[in-house]
Each structure stands twice: as C-alpha cells, then as structure tokens.
Amino acid sequence: MDPDNSVLPEDTPKYSITPNTAADDLHEKMATVESLPEKPQVAETMNTPAVLDHKAERALVWKFDSRLLPVMAIMYLFNSLDKANLGNAKTAGLEKSLGLGDDQYNIILSVFFVPYVLTAPVLGILGKKFGPSLVLPLMMFSFGSFTLLTAATKNFGGIMAIRWFLGMSESAFFPLVIYYQTMFYRRGELARRLAIFYAASNISGAFGGLLAFGVFQIKGGILDNWRYLFLIEGSCSVLFSIFAFWYLPRSAAEARFLTAEQKDLAYHRIAVDSSGVVNEEFNLRDAMRIFREPTSWMILAIEVCLGVPLQSVTLFLPQIIARLGYGTVKTNLYTVAPNVSGAVMLLILAFASDHTRLRFPFVAAGFLFTFIGFVIYAAIDVEQDLQVAYFASFMMTWGTSAPSVLLDVLYNNNIANENRRVVLTSFGVPVANVMGLVSSNIFRNQDAPRYIPALATTAAFGGTGLVLTLLLGAYMIVDNKRRDKKQGVVVKAKDIPTEKLYDGPSSPDFRWFL
C-alpha cells in the first residue's frame, strides 16, 4: 500500500518539515491570477503537499501499516463481536433462558444505543485531550468486562443494566480510531487504511458466526451454551486491551519504532496533507464551530440514513438468514459468506476511492447496493428463490460496509482543524449507531419470518441516503467550480497544503475533497 505521491522531477530537493514556504508560494500564485476570473488557468505548481523522498515515505508508511493497522483491526474485531453477539445468542435460546417477554429482546437491543449517543461526544473530547492511545485501550477493557458479565445475567433487569454500560463503554471507539489514524496518514491514504481496519467488523460477523457454530456444539455443560460465547469474547477483549495499552504510541513523534528522521517526515506529511496545526491543543469553543457549516448537517443526515441499514444487518442478519429455512447451527454458519463478501467489497471500493481521489460516488454506490438488496429480499418469495434471496443478503452487507467508512473519510478529508474533526466524528458516528433504536424496533417477532415492514423501512433509508449523498457531491463540485472562477485558477483540494484549509470553507483557498 504505497502512499499516493505526486510525480516530481528527480532533482527536486528533499522534504522539509516546515511547509510554510510552499504554501505561501501557492497562495501568491493564486493571487496573481485573481484579476482574470473570466478565464481560469490550471495552477502550475501543484506538488506542494508532496513529500519528495518517495523511498523514505514508503518505508515510513509501511511501518505504520505493519505496526498499527493489525493491532487496531484486532481491537475493532473484538469491539464488533462484543456489540453484535446478541443475535447469535438469540438463535441458541437466550430469550428462553432469561425468560424474556414479547418485546423485551428488542428493548435490550435498543437500550444499548441511548448511552452510546449520549456519551460518545464526551469520550471523543477526552480522547483528543488525553490521546487515543490511552483512551482506546481503557474503553476496550471496559466493554470486554461488561461482555464477560453478560454471561452471568439471570433475567431481563440484569442484561438490561449490562447493555446500558456496554453501550457507554463502546460509544466513542470508532470515532477515536478514525481520529487516531488521521494522526499518521495523509488524506489520500486514509480510505484504504480505514477500510482494512473496518473490514474487521465484517470479519467479526463471519468469525462470530463460526465461533457461535463451534460454541453451540457444547452439550451438557454447566452453563447454557450461549453463555460460553460471552465468556470467550469478553476474556479476549480484556486481555488484548492490556497489550494495546502498552503497545500503541501516543503520536508519530513518540513512536518507539521510528527513527528521528522518520519522525520529522511523519510530522511533515501530516502538516501538509492532514492537519492545519499538528497535535493542536483542544479548544471546545473553536471545535463547535464545525456546526456552523451547512454541510455538517447534511453529513449528519446521511449518517442517519446509513445507520438503519448498518444496524439492521449487524443486529439481524442471523434472523434474516433464518428465513431461508435452516436450523440454528446452519443459520449461524450461513452468515459467514455474506459478511466476508462485505469486507471484500469494502476494500474494493476503498482502494478505488483512494486511487481516484473521490469519495462521494463510492458512498453512493454503497447505498445503492443496500437499497437493491433489501428491495429484492422483501419482494421475492424466499422459499421459492433461495439462491436469489441468499444473494440479496450479500448485497445487504456490501451496502452497509462501504458508506460507513467512506462517508467518515469524506468529511475528515475536508476538515483540517483537528478539534473540529474529532467533534464532528464524535457526533456523526454515534448518530449512525443510535439508529439501532429504529432497527431494533422494526424487526418485530410478530412480523417473523418475512419481516416485510422492517425490510421496506431499511430500503427506504438506503434510498434516501443515496439521494442525499449525490446532492452533497453535486454541491461540492459546483462550489469548487465557483471558487475556481472567482480566483481565476483551477486547483484541487489534494494540491493545497492543509494549513491553507485550516479555516474551512470560509477560506478563499478552500476546495472540497470530493
């Protein structure tokens, strides 16, 4: 996974860790043509954000990829397992063991999302203040502990309380991971790295199905077999959190595996192509200014539309697959392939997004997959068309994975202010997740096994998300052209040092990273 660098002459001087000169040169060049708005010219020196020693940069990025990505992916794998294992446990008799009534299973699903959305912004701010490398392992230790305690619950009240604290401890995990990766990677490198990380969520669905398949073979143990699922997953999370606490570097400047020269290079990369001010001190008043931008509210609306399909697949894929008519064991086994294919599709779209330097078309493609998958599953006679129905379940996973990553990358690419970036992410990701309140209440037992109202509702949210994403992309294209015309220069966001983008759309030099 080589960094995406601009092509430069071989005799160009090596990188510097002070990008101000290059940025000022670009600003002066743009200013010189401001008096000729009727005929925009293409900017000639558009290589300013590049790090010029390609070999050194490839070595640096490889270190980040090999040292950070595997650890972060495993952390998110356990995070996803601990959040979504309730669906597997339900197929093995959790409701009967706990004596749950008609709607109580949906209630324990729903309660998870209330503290999730309430505490995420607070934990996100704490993560910025004290560092994701400290807060993420602490959160992992917490949600692993509560997963362990789930195995000891005896009734509705007990599991209700555990799910509340589980939602609290997981709330800002993904937002902080996104912010943490922006501290190490350029904007054009971020999508495929986050995709590799997020693919762990899809793999968790597959791994969770396989683990459930194995655990549910336990017969005659002292505990209900579904309880062993929580014991195994919770223990793994707790143990790995201790390792992560010791292993993760606070920042590139404090990474033990980098040389002094690589630390300078890492700083330069982020200064010119990620953050306007690197390692900026947190300022809440300044951070909240992100909500003055209308596009922030459009992003949140798209997150809402994303949340219902995402949570429907995460929480109810085993129940959706169960409609194919298989028993408990086969139902969990048949969730593996759709989840793996979702991870593969996510990687395909993310690598294509980084290659083309485009985000919104691939977000829209994900919503389109979601819409088609749920419409097909709702429209056909599943019992008569098993193969078509099973293929539709694949499309559901394709359409929920990619938008959840690429949408976050889209707005993170367009925010050079670290404080505003972490705040919008800490609101946006929980907004998507809180839509689990909708998903957990539309898949009702009385609608089983067809779940037509739930499938139709989910498809509607997917279709609306598609429309909003295309509208947002169209606005960004038009606004970029307007800014080019006004300044008399054609320039792309990737060619502007991020210190020039620090003030966001209020800066005349700002361009949207599409």
- Residue 45's pLDDT is 34
Name 176's Cβ contacts closer than 8 Å, sequence gap at least 6.
123, 124, 127, 132, 135, 136, 139, 422, 426
502 occurs within a structural domain: no
Helix (H, G, I), strand (E, B) or coil at 97: helix
- What share of the chain has pLDDT > 70, as a percent? 87
Residue 154, domain CATH: 1.20.1250.20
Q: Which of 93-97, 160-164, 265-269 has the highest mean pLDDT?
A: 160-164
Residue of 404, 439, 440, 402 lying closest to 425 (CA atoms): 404
Q: For 325-337, write each residue's pLDDT tens digit.
A: 777 777 777 888 8
Token pair in block for residue 348:
């395909």
Contact 408, 424 (CB under 8 A): no
496 occurs within a structural domain: no
Distance of alpha carbon 125 from alpha carbon 128, whole angstroms: 5
Q: Determine the average pLDDT of the residues in 124-135.
A: 90
335 occurs within a structural domain: yes
Distances 406 to 184, 196, 316 between C-alpha atoms, Å = 18, 12, 23
Residue 46 reports pLDDT greater than 50: no
Distances 153 to 94, 220, 226, 283, 323 between C-alpha atoms, Å = 10, 19, 12, 42, 29
Q: Determine the average pLDDT of the residues in 27-47.
A: 39
Q: Determine the average pLDDT of the residues in 57-68.
A: 91
Contact 208, 84 (CB under 8 A): yes
Residue 472 reports pLDDT greater than 90: yes
> What phi, psi does 42 have (nearest 5°)?
-75, 130
Q: Which of 44-58, 98-112, 130-144, 381-395 has the highest mean pLDDT?
A: 130-144
* DSSP, residue by residue, 311-374: HHHHHHHHHHHHTT---HHHHHHTTHHHHHHHHHHHHHHHHHHHHHT--HHHHHHHHHHHHHHH
107 occurs within a structural domain: yes
511 occurs within a structural domain: no
Distance of alpha carbon 310 from alpha carbon 64, whole angstroms: 29
Cβ neighbour number for residue 110 with a 10 Å cutoff: 19
Contact 394, 344 (CB under 8 A): no
497 occurs within a structural domain: no
Verify cis geometry, omega within 30 degrees of 0, for the bond prior to 19: no
Residue 138 reports pLDDT greater than 80: yes
DSSP H/E element including 448: none
Contact 437, 315 (CB under 8 A): no
Amino acid identity for residue 506 in this structure: S
Distances 307 to 371, 378, 433, 434, 464 between C-alpha atoms, Å = 13, 19, 6, 7, 12
Q: For 95-124, write each residue's pLDDT tens digit.
A: 888 888 777 888 888 888 888 888 988 998
Q: For 431-453, write each residue's pLDDT tens digit.
A: 888 887 888 788 877 787 788 88
Global pTM value = 0.76
Cα distance between the two ends of the chain: 21
Residue 496 reports pLDDT greater than 70: yes
Residue 32 reports pLDDT greater than 60: no
Token pair in block for residue 152:
């000891």
Residue of 478, 460, 83, 134 lying closest to 295 (CA atoms): 478
Range of the domain at 165: 55-276+290-490
Distance of alpha carbon 472 from alpha carbon 226, whole angstroms: 44
- Residue 51's pLDDT is 55
Distance of alpha carbon 242 from alpha carbon 239, whole angstroms: 6
Residue 245 reports pLDDT greater than 90: yes
Average pLDDT score over the chain: 82
Total tally of structural domains belonging to the chain: 1
Token pair in block for residue 278:
């690197």
Q: Determine the average pLDDT of the residues in 144-156.
A: 92
387 occurs within a structural domain: yes
510 occurs within a structural domain: no
List the single range of 115-119, 353-357, 398-402, 413-417 with lowest mean pLDDT: 398-402
List the single range of 5-19, 92-106, 406-420, 445-459 with lowest mean pLDDT: 5-19
Q: Determine the average pLDDT of the residues in 141-160.
A: 92
Q: Residue length, the chain?
A: 514
DSSP H/E element including 42: strand 41-42
Token pair in block for residue 41:
């010219």
Distance of alpha carbon 227 from alpha carbon 210, whole angstroms: 16
Distance of alpha carbon 168 from alpha carbon 165, whole angstroms: 5
* DSSP, residue by residue, 191-233: HHHHHHHHHHHHHHHHHHHHHHHHHTT--S-SS-HHHHHHHHH
Residue 373 reports pLDDT greater than 70: yes
